[in-house]
Structure 1
């Protein structure tokens, strides 16, 4: 009898712990980014200073627990052709999966649009946090998607490789 009670107790604790971990990963750490606090910018060719991009219909989420949890969706009047002529492309960017409840950001669909040429990814801001770049995908139908990419310096920093001269100084700590 004691064995059955102990087994049931272990099972209940495991279910509660699993549910808590799921909740913490998918819901708890994310905060909504209010539209009035949103800043979307693109870096023009021949410059390192990002320029603000006019947008509307912003939806965004972020989490202080990781620098790569930022996701956002918006609409813009900037066409894909205009963006490609004026702003720096960001090659090999792959959208990161967002929580299922953040329905405007479908990483698989965005990735397919990039692959098919219906969207391009542009540099928004380099080293928004050490080793992390903010990128913006713009589609041919005027939608935009924002996420963070780990850049070369971030890759080197995280795997312990010496940073080299092309990386900015790493913050202390």
Structure 2
């Protein structure tokens, strides 16, 4: 993990409001975003992660918060301008695809590429708001949308 991730983790943990998803944690229980500099997914700080049960299925949905600022995230991680929130077939009450779609359209939220090709033909995408609310889903590769 990059040194600045460790620093962010220590700062956030000192406040007692966030937990760090470490690389040893199962992929389903951590949220990663693709770094602009390395092109690789890197874990971010999350709190309260709720997901659908089958985390690698096409109908994956997740809700969480992050203490990381939207400014830092947009300067560090790959923005996904073609994000298209998928309907929720499992009833995860915190996930509202219609609201996400509108908020991405207006710039209220920003979408990031999380895990390219997490399953064949599917990417994980994460939308984050300036107040730290965040939502994740799987969608077909942008070229296939």
| TM-score, normalized by the shorter chain, greater than 0.5 | yes
Deviation track 1:120-152 (CA, whole Å, cap 9, x = no partner) reads: 100111111121111111111111110011115
Q: 2:97: which partner in 1?
A: 107
Quote the RMSD (CA, aligned, Å).
2.5
Give the TM-score taking structure 2 as reference length: 0.74
Q: 1:170: which partner in 2?
A: none
Deviation track 1:145-165 (CA, whole Å, cap 9, x = no partner) reads: 100111157x39xxxxxxxxx
Structure in which a larger fraction of residues adopt helix: 1
1:84 aligned counterpart, secondary structure: helix
CA distance in 1, matches of 2:141, 2:95: 21
Aligned residues: 120
Deviation track 1:8-53 (CA, whole Å, cap 9, x = no partner) reads: xxxxxxxxxxxxxxxxxxxxxxxxxxx9951100111032211101
Structure in which a larger fraction of residues adopt strand: 2
Does structure 1 retain, via aligned residues, the 8 Å contact 2:59–2:89?
A: no
CA distance in 1, matches of 2:120, 2:84: 19
Matched, 1:57 2:52: no
Equivalent in 68, 72, 83 of residue 82 of structure 1: 72
Q: 1:62 to 1:96 in 2, by over 3 A?
A: farther
